[in-house]
């Protein structure tokens, strides 16, 4: 019996030692996608999704907090093995890194101060007209920045490191609009008061602006074929069995899993 237990222990140790070690980069300033809790730990939708991927591919994963605009460059130089941070899948990014199958598809929206003329916008075309020369806040390196630069050519694009900075400047009147995912806006608008900040226009997707891409995926370094295959398999299984739906309902209150 003792010999059997020893053999089992050695086998378990060997399995642990052989587990792939992966470094995951994330910008933990975008709740409920990812943020830092009181203890300094990264928490959120992407964290739970990433941890489940690691479990399913039998990898030991460590998370690193990095400003959003440094995530993909860090991945390219080998600082990270994966980036899981609400990364939208689009052609521009696909030229630089590999992207998994999409695990989520989050809609985007514009927020303006209460009383703004843009608050009456009904369509994406209305927004581009009403905000044609406005100061618009976006997170640096995001698809939102790409959209504003491509489709609001007369706008004064203001880039920020964190979403809360956009909301603060919008509330203070230093910018006239901001663009980001609706799920990220919700807690920011609630915290500052719905009498101060309001949603403008419809929910926006790649049908309105192609820069939004094809949903959110895991980013990997170019040519990591074996790892990409494992991640794609885990994501597909998590979509099929409802795991990502359950995680999204936990963090957002509704389902943002990729259909």
Residue 35 is part of a domain; what is its CATH number?
Answer: 3.40.190.10
Question: Where do the H-state alpha helices sit in 86-142?
Answer: 91-94, 124-130
Looking at residue 2, its pLDDT comes to 38
Residues 182 and 113 in one domain: yes
Residues 54 and 90 in one domain: yes
Looking at residue 18, its pLDDT comes to 62
Q: Domain range holding 220?
A: 2-105+215-252
Residues 17 and 97 in one domain: yes
Q: Is residue 85 part of a domain?
A: yes
Q: How many domains does the chain have?
A: 2
Strands (E), the chain: 20-26, 35-36, 42-43, 59-65, 82-88, 98-99, 108-113, 135-139, 156-160, 177-181, 197-204, 216-220
Looking at residue 10, its pLDDT comes to 36
Give the pTM.
Answer: 0.74
Which of 29, 65, 47, 62 shows the shortest CA–CA distance to 218? 47
Residues 96 and 49 in one domain: yes
Residues 38 and 100 in one domain: yes
Q: Is residue 259 part of a domain?
A: no
Q: Is residue 10 part of a domain?
A: yes
Residues 74 and 163 in one domain: no
Q: Is residue 78 part of a domain?
A: yes
Question: Where do the H-state alpha helices sit in 2-142?
Answer: 2-17, 45-56, 71-76, 91-94, 124-130
- Mean pLDDT per 10-residue segment, the chain (259 residues): 38 52 96 95 98 98 96 97 95 94 94 96 96 96 95 96 96 98 92 94 91 94 97 98 97 89
Looking at residue 89, its pLDDT comes to 93
Distance CA 63, CA 4 (A): 36
- Which pair of tokens denotes residue 204? 């926006």
């Amino acid at each position: 019996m003792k010999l059997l237990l020893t053999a089992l222990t050695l086998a378990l140790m060997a399995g642990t030692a052989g587990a792939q070690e992966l470094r995951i980069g994330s910008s933990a300033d975008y709740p409920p996608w990812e943020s830092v809790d009181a203890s300094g730990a990264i928490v959120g939708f992407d964290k739970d999704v990433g941890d489940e991927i690691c479990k399913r591919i039998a990898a030991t994963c460590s998370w690193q907090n990095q400003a959003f605009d440094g995530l993909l460059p860090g991945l390219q130089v080998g600082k990270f093995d994966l980036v899981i941070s609400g990364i939208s899948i689009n052609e521009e990014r696909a030229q630089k890194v590999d992207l998994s199958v999409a695990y989520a598809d989050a809609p985007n929206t514009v927020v303006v101060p209460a009383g703004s003329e843009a608050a009456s916008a009904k369509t994406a075309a209305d927004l581009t007209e009403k905000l044609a020369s406005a100061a618009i806040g976006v997170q640096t390196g995001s698809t939102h920045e790409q959209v504003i630069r491509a489709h609001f050519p007369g706008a004064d694009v203001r880039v920020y490191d964190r979403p809360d900075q956009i909301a603060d400047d919008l509330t203070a009147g230093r910018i006239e609009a901001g663009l980001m995912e609706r799920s990220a806006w919700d807690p920011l608008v609630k915290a500052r008061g719905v009498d101060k900040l309001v949603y403008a226009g419809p929910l926006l997707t790649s049908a309105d602006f192609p820069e939004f891409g094809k949903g959110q995926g895991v980013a990997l370094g170019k040519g990591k074929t074996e790892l990409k295959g494992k991640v794609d398999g885990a994501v597909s299984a998590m979509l099929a069995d409802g795991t990502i739906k359950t995680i999204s309902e936990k963090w957002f209150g509704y389902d943002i899993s990729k259909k």
